[in-house]
Amino acid sequence: MSEHTTNHPAFCTPETFSEITLFSGVGHESIASILERCTTETIEPGEVLLSPGQDNTAVFVLLEGLLSVHLEGEDGEPFTWIERGGCVGEMSLIEGKQPSASVIAETPSRLLKIDQESLWALITMSHAICRNLLFVLSHRMRASNRVILEGSIKQRLLEQTARTDPLTGLYNRRWLDEVLERQLGRCRQSGKPLGFMLLDVDHFKEYNDNNGHLAGDAALIALGKLLDEHIRPGDVAARYGGEEFGVILPNTPLYQAERIAERLRKAVEVATIRDVDGNPLPRISISIGLSMQEPRATVQDLTMRADAALYEAKKEGRNCLRTAL
């Protein structure tokens, strides 16, 4: 990095002076005496100007070139770029802390270096510079807020991906088990009943063999939509695995749980299933096993009893509901 002392006319013309954000609306003659104390520096492509872990004692105004700002290390993708007239280093200088991002030259770049003492002198001398500095800091805050918002959106998408089944869009078994554990705890405390349905597509292997796996996927997708349509807002449906689905029915007595299960069974029996081109496919039916919460029941107890009831429904001819006693 090369450095030399300069005054205002040496580092830019009056025309380009007005393009510098920090000096917008400021007469260069009014601050010339302070700028004479500043220096200009030249850095080459790939050279690091600012970096987390290193102290910073100046604000740098870009006179020529292009800088990139990196939030996730020097080798990460640039978060933003600083073009001619922009500045960097103001936040770390004002806070008296190390930079929070790496700033790297993308092209040969020439910079005006304003040390801490000179910056405060400029602020004291010019209200316009105060205004411009507030504008720069506001821009930085908005950019930071955008990063936080984008990160939050990505995090929510990752969490959603981790708990949903990619084919049907329903929750997956892992999430169902977690919700069931919480719901069991709530029902124990409140004394309200809880039901759990385990349902299975009848003869699904034959359906796949006769119609193809894409048709089988279409049937599972259709079943997922029917579940969404026929359960209540507080109920939780999930793909349990393969052609098996689970439904949690909080605050639901036995008679009501059986009514919901039977309504779903009938809806599936008459539902039209279509392939991706809209052509009708053979209908499906489901067998359902229902279990109700018992004192001190665990998730495993509830699911095992529902599974046993589902086995009975299959053994008795399928397309029916059986309740664990």
Q: Which residues are catalytic?
A: 243
> In this structure, what DSSP letter does residue 209 have?
H
CA-closest candidate to residue 198, choices 286, 295, 298: 286
Cβ(200)–Cβ(286) below 8 Å:
yes
Residue 90: strand, helix, or coil? helix
Residue 318 Ramachandran class (φ > 0 left, ψ -120 to 50 alpha, else beta): left
Instruction: Name residues whose C-beta falls within 8 Å of residue 23's C-beta, 6 or more positions apart in sequence.
Output: 17, 31, 129, 132
CA-closest candidate to residue 147, choices 88, 262, 93, 70: 70
Residue 288 Ramachandran class (φ > 0 left, ψ -120 to 50 alpha, else beta): beta
Q: H or E segment at 257?
A: helix 254-270
Residues 33 and 58: their CA atoms lie apart, in Å, by 18
Cβ(62)–Cβ(113) below 8 Å:
no
Residue 131 Ramachandran class (φ > 0 left, ψ -120 to 50 alpha, else beta): alpha
